[in-house]
């Protein structure tokens, strides 16, 4: 099937490349001319393991192409995925400007095509972006304002974890599709036929809610285990042992029970806040979700509190921060706990040197020039008063800690991800602080 995917970010590019890999003919569309020019050469603008290989493979097979305008390809495709950003507004609601812009372009282009060719092709417009309940209806209304032919707007939320997105697409837990149209359902079944995984068909509103509810539940697990970690410190328990024991219960499961400095990224903070806003607009006080958001915000101050316990005033203290991405296996620094912690440190007068294996360039764009970002972890650590581990990159656990001890002014480690073996690190002579560790 010929398909267009609008947006070439994490979701759009992965969706387009993977659909091409399973046999469809895909055109990815983006208004960023430089990005499209680079993509045509097989240059990937994001770090996502395995994606570059897939993109180059399907380009070579002429299954994936790129364009700067949906108008150039819309007449040739049967389905259009909308995979543009829905960033949070200041009030916490999802900003749907880019989604609506695509809808308007679809409507205008379909109307122009129908007028010129005197025929109307059935199209399925698929919301892949994370959007509030009711968005499909709004997109339908926008398109219908311009185009009077037959079409359907479908909800098909993404469940891709950055760092594992290709595997998540090819081997999904479930594929959720929201539509009441039998015709659209048949097309969606054809699109996903080559992808093995449970196909769940629902009403549109349910599909839109499934995405938000899923992410909110996961953030609830994270904030819960972080609260347990804080309590563990007070009672002398070890949260790693506690979470392991909890996770053996099949009703609970071990996923998302790693205590740390809080969740981040492009989805969890935005989607959790947006769901809370949705509840508010309907007059519902979502107390649990408010607490989840509050806990996550407070958890990021843990590192500052620990450092102040050790040093008192942090002014002019040199702090090394390892990790800038919001999690390992990605270069994404959006809503990164590490970035927030660095800003808090510089806010109280500390001097920060930082390092990340993949996210240095992205971090430089949003951090002030007073933060020194190095290309080597040991350079960041050299002559620092303390070391903070802010992202769970496995390579950080395999650093030479005998060398690190000689580089630090004081052998102090704040392990914000409980990445290190605390027993071994303490035996090496470090003053070690984990999250919820006895």
Residues carrying an active site annotation: 267
Q: Name the token pair of 99.
A: 């989604």
Which letter does DSSP use for residue 111 in this model? H
Which letter does DSSP use for residue 172 in this model? -
H/E segment holding residue 405: helix 401-407
β-bridge mates for residue 387, sequence order? 320, 413
Cα 332 to Cα 45, 128, 321, 338, distances in angstroms: 11, 20, 16, 11
- Nearest-CA neighbor of 158 among 105, 190, 197? 197
The angle at the Cα of 276, spanning 215 to 290, to the nearest 5 degrees, equals 90
H/E segment holding residue 182: helix 182-192
- Tell me how far apart the terminal alpha carbons of the chain are, to the nearest angstrom: 57
Residue 385 · residue 352 · CB < 8 Å: no
β-bridge mates for residue 319, sequence order? 352, 386
Which residues 6+ apart lie within 8 Å of 173 measured at CB?
159, 197, 198
| Overall size of the chain counted in residues | 438
Burial 186-220 (b: 16+ CB within 10 A, else e): ebbeebbeebeeebebbebeebbbbbbebbbebbb
> 64-67 and 25-29: which strand pairing?
parallel
Q: Name the token pair of 318.
A: 């040199």
Cα 298 to Cα 333, 343, 406, distances in angstroms: 19, 14, 33
Nearest-angstrom CA–CA distance, 117 and 247: 60
Which letter does DSSP use for residue 366 in this model? T
Nearest-angstrom CA–CA distance, 391 and 176: 31
Q: How far is Cα of residue 70 from the mean position of the Cα atoms in its chain?
A: 25
Residue 291 · residue 220 · CB < 8 Å: no
């Amino acid at each position: 099937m010929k398909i267009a995917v609008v947006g070439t970010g994490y979701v759009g590019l992965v969706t387009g490349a993977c659909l091409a890999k399973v046999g469809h003919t895909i055109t990815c569309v983006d208004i960023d001319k430089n990005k499209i020019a680079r993509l045509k050469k097989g240059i990937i603008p994001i770090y996502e393991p395995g994606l570059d290989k897939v993109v180059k493979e399907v380009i070579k097979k002429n299954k994936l192409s790129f364009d700067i305008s949906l108008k150039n390809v819309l007449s040739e495709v049967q389905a259009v995925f909308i995979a543009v950003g829905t960033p949070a507004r200041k009030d916490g609601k999802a900003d749907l400007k880019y989604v609506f812009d695509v809808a308007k372009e679809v409507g205008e282009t379909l109307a122009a095509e129908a007028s010129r060719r005197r025929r109307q092709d059935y199209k399925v417009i698929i919301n892949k972006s994370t959007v509030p309940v009711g968005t499909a209806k709004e997109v339908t209304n926008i398109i219908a304002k311009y185009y009077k032919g037959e079409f359907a707007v479908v909800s098909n939320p993404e469940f891709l974890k950055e760092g594992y997105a290709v595997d998540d697409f090819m081997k999904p837990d479930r594929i959720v599709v929201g539509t009441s149209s039998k015709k659209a359902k048949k097309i969606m079944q054809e699109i996903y036929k080559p992808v093995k995984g449970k196909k769940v068909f629902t009403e549109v509103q349910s599909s839109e809610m499934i995405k938000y509810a899923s992410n909110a539940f996961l953030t609830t697990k994270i904030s819960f285990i972080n609260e347990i970690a804080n309590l563990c410190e007070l009672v002398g328990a070890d949260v790693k042992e506690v979470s392991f024991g909890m996770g053996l219960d099949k009703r609970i499961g071990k996923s998302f029970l790693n205590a740390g400095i809080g969740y981040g990224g492009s989805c969890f903070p935005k989607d959790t806040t947006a769901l809370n806003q949705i509840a508010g607009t309907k007059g519902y006080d979502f107390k649990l979700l408010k607490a989840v958001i509050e806990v996550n915000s407070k958890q990021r101050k843990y590192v500052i509190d620990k450092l102040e316990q050790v040093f008192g005033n942090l002014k002019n203290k040199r702090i090394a921060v390892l990790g800038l991405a919001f999690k390992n296996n990605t270069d994404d620094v959006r809503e990164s706990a590490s970035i927030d912690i660095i800003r808090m440190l510089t806010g109280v007068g500390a001097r920060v040197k930082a390092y990340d294996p993949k996210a240095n360039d992205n971090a430089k764009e949003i951090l002030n020039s007073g933060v020194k970002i190095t290309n080597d972890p040991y350079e960041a650590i050299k002559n620092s008063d303390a070391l903070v581990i802010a992202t769970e990159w496995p390579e950080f656990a395999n650093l030479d800690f005998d060398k690190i001890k000689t580089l630090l002014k004081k052998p102090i480690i704040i392990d914000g991800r409980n990445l290190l073996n605390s027993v071994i690190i303490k035996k090496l002579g470090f003053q070690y602080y984990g999250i919820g560790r006895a």
